[in-house]
Amino acid sequence: MWSWVAHRVTGVLIFFFLFVHVLDTALVRVSPEDYDKVVATYKTPIVALLEYGLVAAILFHALNGLRVIAVDFWSKGPRYQKQMFWTVMGVWIVLMAGAIYPVLGHAARVLFGS
């Protein structure tokens, strides 16, 4: 049940990110100076944490989506859905651990120095 809720929540969060991304990208046509200010705010450590959250949401949504497809289209899928869920969680944790440095490395250098 919680994977169902998390799948919907991550889908909505990704949708809102894409909506805001389209809006801020469109800002370059309206006011390039304001666009530059917005992009400058994206280089802060707080936004780096939000980016890490975005990576977490996208990875979970994608991996859980593959699990849902397997449950729906594989004849033995419903029987193994719990094992597939824990496999998804394990892969997600490994990938999130691997994403720490690439996503948060710049923020760590800004906060703690190089």
So what's the pLDDT on residue 113?
80
So what's the pLDDT on residue 43?
87
So what's the pLDDT on residue 51?
94
pTM of this structure: 0.87
- Mean pLDDT per block of 10 residues along the chain (114 residues) reads 91 96 91 91 90 96 96 92 95 96 89 81
Contacts 24+ apart (CB under 8 A), 82-89: 85/3, 88/3, 88/60, 88/63, 88/64
So what's the pLDDT on residue 1?
74
So what's the pLDDT on residue 110?
84
Report the Cα 51 to chain-centroid distance in Å: 7
Report the Cα 60 to chain-centroid distance in Å: 7
Tens digit of pLDDT for each residue in 62-73? 999 999 999 999
